[in-house]
């Protein structure tokens, strides 16, 4: 009888938790810009966790900040017709801070400051940056101290640096990267954290395609086309895998090895 009673109590608890989860999901709302709010930031300010902000085509001159909110910021069309044009180029066009499970999808993001501007700055957050066209920034996407940020199917070009991540578990997949970094030779992509994956990306017309600083990173099935250098491995990068990549029409060697300063057994290069 006690076992039966305990089982019944457990069933009630599970049902209660499920009901609360469903209630949280059902309470999420959709906010339309500019139909309900003229500015995107106004919609962000009134939004709650789980809400979706749908932005119609147009040019929105703003600096956006999402802080401690799990929001889905989406363009109604996946094209360059929904533009976020930075208002103050000394600050990132979009800041996402202390936010989990966010989505940023479908925008043209223009920083207009190739010396110090940042397109998207993700700080202590996790989420998805996808299907955006990011141009004219010092750094197109900067991921700092977060985990599980997925960056996929974006176009990043005419930036000083396309992506910089010192976070762990960043996924860089299916992006078109280049031309970037032609003026001063910085890498288009810098992976400085641990357990990051770069896969199925196209690195085209960059000075340096990608540089790996951190440990346990994997680069596979990427296309490197007409880069001056394709891949650079920093001396302190451990357990890096470079596999099944295509190096085509590069001006210099496909792989820049800096491992002569360190231990060459830290990197596995095969089937490229």
pLDDT at 239: 86
- CB-side exposure of 101: number of CA atoms within 13 Å? 6
* CA neighbor of 122 nearest in space, from 210, 204, 132: 132
Q: Are 119 and 94 spatial neighbours (Cβ–Cβ below 8 Å)?
A: yes
Give how far Cα 74 sits from Cα of 23, 47, 251, Å: 23, 14, 39
pLDDT score of 254: 66
With 0-12 CB in 10 A as exposed, 13-18 as middle and 19+ as buried, what is 101? middle
The pTM of this model reads 0.88
Q: Average of pLDDT values for 105-128?
A: 91
| Mean pLDDT of the region 71-75 | 97
Tell whether the model's pLDDT for residue 120 goes beyond 90: yes
88, 114 contact by CB (below 8 A): no
Task: Round to whole Å and give the CA distance between 182 and 13.
Answer: 59
CA–CA dist 241, 220 (Å, integer): 8
183-235 per-position pLDDT tens digit: 667 899 999 999 999 999 999 999 889 999 988 999 989 999 888 888 888 88
Res 175: pLDDT? 98
Confidence of residue 238 (pLDDT cuts 50, 70, 90): confident
Read off the pLDDT of residues 1-21 as tens digits, 9 standing for 90 and up: 444 344 344 444 344 445 444
pLDDT, tens digit, for every residue of 74-92?
A: 999 987 899 999 999 889 9
Mean pLDDT across the chain: 86
Closest by CA position to 71, among listed 31, 108, 36 = 31
- Take residue 208 and report the two structure tokens written for it: 């340096």
Nearest C-alpha neighbor of 37 from the set 59, 55, 21, 57 = 55
Q: What is the pLDDT of residues 130-139, one digit of tens each?
A: 999 999 999 9
């Amino acid at each position: 009888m006690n076992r039966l009673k305990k089982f019944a109590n457990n069933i009630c608890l599970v049902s209660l938790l499920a009901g609360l989860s469903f209630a949280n999901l059902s309470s999420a709302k959709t906010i339309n810009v500019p139909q309900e709010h003229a500015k995107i930031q106004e919609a962000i300010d009134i939004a709650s966790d789980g809400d979706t902000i749908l932005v119609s085509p147009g040019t929105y001159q703003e600096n956006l900040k999402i802080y401690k909110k799990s929001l889905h910021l989406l363009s109604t069309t996946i094209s360059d017709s929904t533009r976020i044009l930075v208002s103050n180029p000394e600050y990132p066009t979009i800041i996402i801070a202390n936010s989990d499970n966010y989505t940023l999808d479908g925008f043209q993001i223009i920083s207009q400051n190739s010396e110090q501007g940042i397109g998207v700055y993700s700080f202590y957050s996790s989420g998805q940056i996808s299907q955006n066209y990011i141009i004219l920034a010092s750094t197109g996407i900067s991921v700092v101290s977060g985990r599980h940020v997925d960056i996929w199917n974006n176009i990043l070009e005419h930036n000083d640096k396309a992506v910089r991540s010192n976070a762990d578990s960043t996924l860089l997949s299916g992006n078109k990267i280049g031309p970037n970094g032609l003026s001063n030779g910085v890498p288009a992509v810098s992976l400085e954290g641990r357990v990051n994956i770069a896969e199925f990306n196209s690195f085209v017309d960059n000075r340096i395609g990608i540089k790996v600083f951190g440990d346990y990173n994997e680069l596979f099935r990427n296309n490197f086309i007409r880069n001056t250098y394709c891949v650079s491995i920093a001396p302190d990068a451990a357990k890096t895998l470079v596999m099944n990549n295509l190096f085509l029409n590069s001006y210099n060697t496909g792989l820049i090895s800096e491992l002569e300063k360190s231990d060459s057994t830290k990197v596995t290069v095969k089937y490229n």
